[in-house]
Chains A and B, each alone.
Chain A
Amino acid sequence: MAGVALEDVTKVYDDGTVAVSNLALDIEDGEFMVLVGPSGCGKTTALRMVAGLETITAGEVRIAERVVNRVPPKDRDIAMVFQNYALYPHLTVADNLGFSLRLHKVPRAEIKRRVTDIARILGLEDLLNRKPRALSGGQRQRVAMGRAIVRDPEAFLMDEPLSNLDAKLRVQMRAEIARIQHDLGTTTIYVTHDQTEAMTMGDRVAVMRRGELQQVDHPQALYEHPVNLFVGGFIGSPAMNLVEGVLEHDDEQSGVLWARLGEQRLRLADSLLADRPTLHRYAGRGVAVGIRPEDLKDASMTTGPADGQRLRVSVGLVERMGAETYVHFTLDAKPVFTEDTRELVRERAEMTDNVLEQRGQAPHSECVARVQPRTEAREGEQLELAVDTSHVYFFDLETGQAIDDAASPAPGAAPDGRGDHGGTG
């Protein structure tokens, strides 16, 4: 039993920076927990507090039921993989791998056996006598992984271990780390700013923003039931399109809700309304409407999307990826412009603050659709998009909270304390 628990953990640095505030997170034995969020949101700080490399200002960290606030790193029985690997430059690969075992006075023969085993698992057999400087980036990364695995610790802590690899290797290592973790069943906290990494690797994903936990849940639940604008915009790639709209009831058919986007209207699917009855209370009010790029298709290539499931847009850049095509387009509706979305755009480094401010004031929004590969959409032309209206997201414009009865707020984020995991996909 080696779960890791953080209870209302807060870190205030000496200069007054509040890096983490009231972080509550329960990581079960054997679980792969990913901490994700934009850079500077406190992920590394949180991990370092678990490792014992940073003092804990308030709250409690427990490893295997033991409070470790005052336990030095060497006595916590955890292993850490650093972003820059931190291999011992004066030691060979074999000695790097065996370093901790030697410190723990493991017999020589046993060290040799375990180092050889790990080297085989990670494909490092031929490199055991090399010094780190004679290794490529990918090989160094493997040694760093091996150094953690060899000890069979209570928990692995990994701080963006793949961020220094090239894209191809990153995808490969992603799968490999997930596999190794699964085989070993060791509790893991994995920090990344890359939402794709988070979604593909985590049993559960904890989204952080400015030192505060936003939501913890299984990847699919995060995707389908983001608790607020920030999580909605952060999870998913390309990002969810967020525009301002107005919810309105239809006079004739009671119970039918429409979302007005500029001059056009979308009829919310019955299934959506059944899941989110709260939406009715927003009738007549402005809301943030979120549509994921993959829920938009080229209408001319799908059979009969009904009225109220179509949007006319003007096409901008068309990116053909082969298996799918990204159609950038402008929609006749105001973009959502709040603290959350501003931060998201900044994080994705798409534009400068100036351009951002201008865009925010514009009467139309820049959006993306991920449509069928053989679409005939062309830049400068009009296109009719079919919208999957059973998967539209709504957020309160003032609070940024999701209007979603199934979304579970992060513990501490809502007044009523810990939420359970929301409905899973």
Chain B
Amino acid sequence: MSAATATASTAPIPPRESWAQRMTRAVSRGPLHLVLIVIALVWLLPTVGLLVASLRPPSESAQTGWWKALTDTSQLTFENYRQILDDPLITQAFWNTVLITVPATLGVVVIGALAAYAFAWIDFRGRDWLFVGVVALLVVPIQVALIPVAKLYGTLGIFGDISGVVLFHVAFGLPFAVFLLRNFFAQIPRELLEAARIDGASELKVFRTVILPIGLPALASLAIFQFLWVWNDLLVALVFADTSNAPLTVAIRSQMRQFGTNFDIIGPAAFLSMLVPLAVFFAFQRYFVQGILAGSER
């Protein structure tokens, strides 16, 4: 019937590449690949160095460079890792980092997404001025807030608590989150939201079933950046977390000495602290897909 023929006749024909075309493309991309390989090596070298160093006994580390272990693999040992995993100072710090980073990331992503949706798609009085205000907050350096917020926390009785650190990170993460997500959400065609509303969706459903899935690349990018930022933060933690609540960054710093750094602790701790963000990055990187909107129109 007519329906079937129309379907067949309008199906797009996938372009076939000849072998020659593929070769041409590969060669023309050669320089780009070369640059990427160099960048990867530059990044990889110190990372491997840190890993190898963290596997050497402190006596060796004090005398020779980590590359010696490449020729003399008998040096390598998990002793350092065993020790720091038994060290309550380090394990506690690791858990503190997790307890700070996860809520601080989730908070920024969830609150940021809701606010961004309102800024992009819900009409309310003073919306544009409020958004300008949020954007203006982007340029406030966190340093100017340290003392007033410390005083505030003192009054509230959460100074030194993990909750205080989390709140601070959420507060300072939000302006950028709202800014990034609003601009992304605003690019979603209006008709998509309207179609959903006509299909019977409430605002919350529109947000959940249309905005969130389509906004996934932006949400994933934001989550990664916020996660890395909080995970690696030292300043905020130093100011607001007391010793029992201190994250890994603070714990590592406390092992630094002007003479005789405790490398058997710093090496493995630093590597562990790097491992988690890497895992997060690889878990989310598949959402960095371009063109998720493709096909909704025309």
Which A positions have Cβ atoms within 8 angstroms of B?
51-53, 72-74, 76, 78-80, 82, 84-90, 99-100, 103-104, 121-124, 126-127, 131-140, 142, 147, 151, 164, 169, 172-173, 175-176
Contacts and interface: CB of A to CB of B under 8 A. Distances in A.
Nearest to A175: B2
B30 interface: no
Interface string B258-298: 00000000000000000000000000000000011111111
B295 A87 contact: yes
A89 B188 CA distance: 11
Contacts of A72: 197
A410 B207 CA distance: 43
A73 B297 contact: no
Contact of A123 (B6, B189, B201, B210): B6
Contacts of A103: 199-201, 205, 209
Interface in B173-220: 189, 191-192, 194-202, 205, 209-210, 213-214, 216
Contact of B197 (A74, A84, A89, A138): A74
Interface string B219-234: 0000000000000000
Contacts of A78: 198
Contacts of A99: 196, 199, 209
Interface stretch (B7-15, B82-90, B156-164): B7-15
Given A51-B198, A74-B197, A86 B189 contact: yes
Contacts of A85: 296-298
Contacts of B147: none
A123 B4 contact: yes
B35 interface: no
Interface of B: 1-4, 6-7, 10-12, 189, 191-192, 194-202, 205, 209-210, 213-214, 216, 291-298
Contacts of B199: 74, 79, 99-100, 103, 147, 151
22 contacts: A52-B197, A53-B194, A73-B197, A74-B197, A80-B194, A80-B195, A84-B297, A86-B296, A87-B295, A88-B296, A89-B293, A89-B294, A104-B200, A121-B3, A123-B4, A133-B294, A133-B295, A134-B295, A136-B12, A147-B199, A169-B6, A172-B2
B2 to A, nearest CB: 6
Contacts of B296: 85-89, 132-133
Contact of A73 (B1, B3, B189, B194): B194
A146 to B, nearest CB: 11
A103 B199 CA distance: 8
Contacts of A87: 295-297
A265 to B, nearest CB: 50
A80 B10 contact: no
B195 A82 contact: yes
B210 A88 contact: yes
Given A80-B198, A100-B199, 6 more contacts: A79-B199, A84-B191, A84-B297, A103-B201, A123-B4, A176-B3
Contacts of A53: 194, 197-198
A173 B201 CA distance: 29
Closest 8 A/B residue pairs (Cβ): A133-B295, A123-B3, A132-B295, A86-B191, A100-B199, A133-B294, A138-B10, A89-B296
Contacts of A134: 295
Contacts of A124: 7
A375 B3 CA distance: 39
B298 A140 contact: yes
A89 B6 contact: no
Given A86-B189, A87-B295, A138 B198 contact: no
A89 B294 CA distance: 6
Nearest to A89: B296
Contact of B7 (A80, A123, A132): A123
A89 B292 contact: yes
Contacts of B197: 52-53, 72-74
